[in-house]
Structure 1
Amino acid sequence: MTETRAEEIATGAAETGSLQPRTPIFLDVDTGVDDALAIMLAVKSGAFDLLGITTVNGNVSLSQATLNTRKVLHVLVEEAKQKGRAEEAELIANIPVIPGADRPLRRPQYFEHRVHGNDGIGGALADLELPPMRASKQAALIMVETIKERPGEITLIMTGPLTNLALALRACPELPTLVKEVIFMGGVVTSFGNVTPTAEYNIYVDPEAARNVLQAGFNITMVGLDVTRRALLTRDHIESMGDAPLAPLVYDCTRDYMDMYAKRYGHPACAMHDPFAVAVAIDRAVATTEHLYVDVEVNSNLCDGQTVADFQGRWNKEPNVHVCMDLNQEAFIERFLHVLQR
């Protein structure tokens, strides 16, 4: 990749919305630390028409993920107001937050408090109180209704377990022909897992949902640990944000995560799993992919939830997933910091 192209990737996000039509998306989250950062990137990038942020049981309970999502959006509204951007503040305030599945398809809940803290975002925004939400239809049904109204237009960015999409698929089997693209954070095919030796968390929590989605025929891109482990945000990066209004939230929600990371790997950092999935949706040039057949193990005591890629074509099956294999880490982090300081 040329230096000029890397610079375009790093700085282009904030201008994307003004140069070309915004991509209509649903962002599906189980809002823990990196989901919160992904929401900030998606909202502030200018790249998307956010039709809704759907929430799912995963890192934390459905109710906590929904509350965390609303808190992050509230902060973004206040930041826009602080910068005198009344129209932007109104747009953010009107992004629907839509609760979805409160448990996996067949399995018990499996939270990740040891990484994300009891509230999912490391205690950040603990003092922020919000009014109760009005009841709405379940996320899967709203996704199906909206996608049917706009066939071939909508991209789904999934940063939690794939339960909501599996439920939408169950309600509408023709969904793969109606969705423009699915980009999901999850899985690993060339390295080790992060919840078992072989499984990545989002897939492990609901492997049946993941298997159903991968085998359904979507135009789908997998953003797995193969690349996201190398997309690291450090404290130096956060300090470089200076007095940017969002810097305190980024610091607060990543503090405990970075401490945990330092104990495990020897240096403080936050793996930007979910923000990198959003970055891929903004500009595919930030990653390189390989088209492979990928399946999910659902019946193994040793390897439950493992994503298995057929690199050599031994199963004689058509490739079904575009798997991210490499990334431009520097350009991605530059873009993330640029957008959040916009």
Structure 2
Amino acid sequence: MEKVILDVDTGIDDALAILYAVESGALDILGITAVNGNVPLQNVTKNTLKVLQLAGRQDIKVYPGASEPYLKEAQHVFHIHGKDGIGNALDDMTVEGTEENLFAADFIIESVNKYPGEVTIILVGPLTNLALALKKAPEIAGLIKRIVVMGGAVDCPGNITPAAEFNIHADAEAAKVVFHKGLDITLVGLDVTSQTMMDLSDIETLAGTKYYDFIKQSTDVYRKYGEELYGRNSCALHDPLTVGYVLDESLITTREVYTDVEITGELSYGQTIADFSNRLGQQPNMKVSLEVDSGRFVKHFIDTLGNQKS
């Protein structure tokens, strides 16, 4: 099984991505690192512990990381993810697990040194933890197998500003650090994630299974936000698709291209710019996602979680 670290800002779709990764049975999850993002770090950590408890996987350790971005002030999106970050779907759960004392960036450094060339890092929140790890131990860039990032919008509008996607915009300086360290990067952006919509009919197929109640309740506020945007009661599976790519790369068509992040523009801060026409004359530094087999992915996601009986 592929060794992975999940870096999350849990978040409704982060929670779904964690469950998807756990229930796929195809990933050796070394640990989960938490980062400030959708909600503050303390919410992220608590939500992650709750989701793992729901899955019965308290053996997977949670490592708290950056409580604020690399340089800028924190921003959160409670209006999308609810007051706690997971739609208050697990309010009645008493958390049994505890977070680890090791800082997330140090856990990343420790893990890739322990398994050189073997660890894939799946980042579905701002890239602060990895940027800090690379700052502290730049030599790990040559030890990481690959990173797969939910972030960016290279050929479509943003979702936090007209130009920028939330995860990159939340810490564009950290993203810029990561993008220029010579890593094997795949960017799974809004160009493809916005095509992977889960609606109420998909959720109803999970009735009677382990995660039905949680998915229906947690995504309620998320689907209502989707209804405002798209005119249908549905939500995009941004973070689960990023896990899905690690499970099956054939789901997404990518192109190698030089891509950078804007960090100075007043209107364009956080924009991911892919130089498709090679105007800058730079060598490609990542693969960007352009097309997705959305139907096949959504079916696999639903089937994977639906296989768990209540």
Q: Same fold (TM over 0.5)?
A: yes
User: 1:19-30 maps to which residues of 2 (within 5 A)?
Assistant: 22-30=1-9
Residues 1:63 and 2:42 are matched in the alignment = yes
Residues 1:332 and 2:297 are matched in the alignment = yes
1:192 to 146, 157, 171: 157
Q: Residues of 1 paired with 2:283 and 2:245: CA distance?
A: 23
Structure 1 runs (4+) deviating above 2 angstroms are 131-135
Deviation at 1:135, TM superposition (A): 4.7
User: 1:235-250 maps to which residues of 2 (within 5 A)?
Assistant: 235-250=200-215
Equivalent residues of 2:151, 2:188 under 8 A apart? yes
SS of the aligned residue for 1:93 comes to: coil
Equivalent residues of 1:124, 1:252 under 8 A apart? yes
State the AA in 2 paired with 1:75. Answer: L
Aligned to 1:11: none
Deviation at 1:217, TM superposition (A): 0.6
Higher alpha-carbon Rg = 1
Equivalent residues of 2:39, 2:78 under 8 A apart? yes
State the AA in 2 paired with 1:44. Answer: E
Aligned to 1:8: none
Moved more, 256-265 or 98-107: 256-265
SS of the aligned residue for 2:148 comes to: strand
**If each structure's helix is expressed as a fraction of its own residues, which one has the higher value?**
1
Q: Residues of 1 paired with 2:100 and 2:13: CA distance?
A: 26
Deviation at 1:263, TM superposition (A): 2.0
1:204 to 169, 187, 190: 169
2:132 to 158, 161, 167: 167
SS of the aligned residue for 1:174 comes to: helix
Q: Give 5+ residue unaligned stretches, structure 1.
A: 1-21, 78-91
Q: Residues of 1 paired with 2:96 and 2:243: CA distance?
A: 28
Equivalent residues of 1:105, 1:208 under 8 A apart? yes
Q: Give 5+ residue unaligned stretches, structure 2.
A: none
Q: Residues of 2 paired with 1:279 and 1:306: CA distance?
A: 24
Aligned to 1:7: none
Q: Residues of 1 paired with 2:244 and 2:229: CA distance?
A: 26
Aligned to 2:22: 43
State the AA in 2 paired with 1:151. Answer: P
Q: Residues of 1 paired with 2:115 and 2:103: CA distance?
A: 19
Aligned to 1:31: 10
Aligned to 2:288: 323
Equivalent residues of 1:57, 1:103 under 8 A apart? yes
Q: Residues of 2 paired with 1:334 and 1:147: CA distance?
A: 33
Aligned to 2:59: 94
Q: Residues of 1 paired with 2:60 and 2:248: CA distance?
A: 22
SS of the aligned residue for 2:287 comes to: strand
Equivalent residues of 2:163, 2:271 under 8 A apart? yes
Residues 308, 25 of structure 1: alpha-carbon distance in 2 compared, 3 angstrom cutoff: same
Residues 1:231 and 2:196 are matched in the alignment = yes
State the AA in 2 paired with 1:215. Answer: H
Q: Residues of 2 paired with 1:269 and 1:131: CA distance?
A: 32
Equivalent residues of 1:26, 1:54 under 8 A apart? yes
Q: Residues of 1 paired with 2:191 and 2:99: CA distance?
A: 39
SS of the aligned residue for 2:258 comes to: strand
Equivalent residues of 1:176, 1:219 under 8 A apart? no
Deviation at 1:93, TM superposition (A): 2.0
**What is the TM-score when the length of structure 2 is the normalising length?**
0.97
Residues 1:216 and 2:216 are matched in the alignment = no
1:276 to 241, 245, 254: 241
Cα RMSD over matched residues? Answer: 0.9
